[in-house]
Amino acid sequence: MNGMERKKYHPMTLKYSIITAIKGALIGIANIIPGVSGGTFALILGIYERLLDALHAINPTIILEAIRAIVSLHRPAGRRRAKEIIDTLDLIFLSSLGLGALTTILGLSFLIDYLLVHHPGLTLSFFIGLIIPSIVVPWKMMGASKRLSQLSWMIPGIALTIGVAFAFGNIESNDSLIWSFLTGVIAVSAMILPGISGSFVMLVMGQYQNVLRKLQLIQTTIDLSAWIWLFVFGAGCIVGLLLFARFLGYLLAHRRNATLAFLIGLILGSFWILWPFKQFDYSMDLNHIAEEFRDRVAEKQDIRIATAPNQMPADVNECLFNLLALSAGLAGALGLNRFGSEDAGVSPFSH
């Protein structure tokens, strides 16, 4: 992409809108798993630059123009301007993607939680298989000319991802609306970066289980406070997404290869977090802990995917089952790359 020039992307036909919604659903799944990056999935699916491009187009001026167009929809000129704004903002693409992501975030949060708690190693192996091919995508996007000075930016990318893992602290959950907004701003900024998991950042901020609990709460009961908390969280996500997308879009436009190399480093570093052989039983026995601390330790057990120490596999059988899960993930990645092949210049199998 040269400067702020927009690419020509696949037209949003009904078929492609459905495909985009499926991609959004997969990104939604990634965004609720600690250690798995929605940005990485966007790379795998071939929509990363289109997403950044669409978000970068949103600014106060075009929002005001959109309001004027809505007010004048009864006039032919207003309808024409509304259509131009929809095309400029790629709203059909964003709406399809967002609908798919929201559907899986709400509908599959229970399933993902179950798999991570009861089959953590196999689940992580499967996602490693899905993520491995994504390294090819930014590599191809860098083009044929790659300088060592640019490739060296992989090192700080790896260091940042692993550093976040080591920096995890015992931060308690906080129900304040200000903290909810800040969590949304910071977490969504991480979500858009391949290799950095927004869910893991929420773990660092002590809010991951709080968000999951409220998402499940609004589906099972009528809880106004949960709706308000999630609304403020969502507002923070929107603000963070728009601001950080513009910054990242600027970097891709002016320091493209160095930025892409940094993204590759983020992806490579995420494998440390996703290593499937962990000491999942490292938590203390709750029966030997004072009652006032049991809830806090129980919360730690629930999020052990991101915090359990890595170790070597226990035996050959453990290796075999995890290799099968990884192979299934690789097979799934091939299918995902077929979905992504229709967006020009982004597929790992076209250049």
Q: Is the pTM of this model over 0.85?
A: no
Q: What is the pLDDT of residue 217?
A: 82
300 within domain boundaries: yes
8 within domain boundaries: no
Query: Taking 90 as the threshold, does the pLDDT of residue 323 lie above it?
Result: yes
Contacts 24+ apart (CB under 8 A), 305-308: 305/34, 305/35, 305/116, 305/120, 305/124, 305/278, 306/34, 306/35, 306/165, 306/168, 306/200, 306/203, 306/273, 307/168, 307/203, 308/278, 308/279, 308/280, 308/282
Q: Which of 116, 174, 32, 110 is nearest to 301 (CA)?
A: 116
pLDDT-derived band of residue 202, with 50, 70 and 90 as boundaries? confident
CA distance 263 to 134: 10
**What's 349's DSSP letter?**
T
Query: Taking 60 as the threshold, does the pLDDT of residue 199 lie above it?
Result: yes
Q: Which of 19, 18, 17 is nearest to 337 (CA)?
A: 19
- Between residues 296 and 305, which one has the greater pLDDT? 305
Q: What is the pLDDT of residue 2?
A: 41
Q: What is the pLDDT of residue 155?
A: 94
Which residues, other chains included, contact 77 with Cβ-Cβ below 8 Å and sequence gap of 6+? none
Q: What is the pLDDT of residue 278?
A: 83
Q: Report how far Cα 196 is from the mean position of its chain's Cα atoms.
A: 8
Domain that holds residue 188: 14-340
Mean pLDDT of 68-77: 90
Mean pLDDT of 26-36: 77
Give the number of other Cβ atoms within 10 Å of residue 62's Cβ: 14
Which residues, other chains included, contact 15 with Cβ-Cβ below 8 Å and sequence gap of 6+? none
Question: What amino acid occupies position 263?
Answer: L
Q: What is the pLDDT of residue 350?
A: 37
5 within domain boundaries: no
What angle do helix axes 208-220 and 224-254 make, rounded to 10 degrees? 130
- Between residues 227 and 337, which one has the greater pLDDT? 227
Contact 245, 55 (CB under 8 A): yes
Mean pLDDT of 33-46: 75
Q: What is the pLDDT of residue 34?
A: 64
Residue percentage of the chain with pLDDT more than 90: 16
44 within domain boundaries: yes
Q: What is the pLDDT of residue 170?
A: 47
271 within domain boundaries: yes
What is the tens place of the pLDDT at every residue in 147-170? 888 999 999 988 887 887 676 544
217 within domain boundaries: yes
Q: What is the 3-state secondary structure (H, E, C) of 242-279?
A: HHHHHHHHHHHHHCHHHHHHHHHHHHHHHHHHHCCCEC
349 within domain boundaries: no
* Assigned token pair, 142: 């860098």
CA distance 155 to 151: 8
What is the tens place of the pLDDT at every residue in 40-49? 788 778 888 8
Q: What is the pLDDT of residue 295?
A: 47
What is the total count of domains within the chain? 1
348 within domain boundaries: no
Which residues, other chains included, contact 83 with Cβ-Cβ below 8 Å and sequence gap of 6+? none
Query: Taking 50 as the threshold, does the pLDDT of residue 111 lie above it?
Result: yes
Mean pLDDT of 5-11: 70
**What's 210's DSSP letter?**
H
- Between residues 137 and 105, which one has the greater pLDDT? 105
Q: What is the pLDDT of residue 279?
A: 78
**What's 310's DSSP letter?**
B
The values of phi and psi at residue 87, to 5°, are: -70, -40
Mean pLDDT of 9-35: 85
CA distance 347 to 329: 18
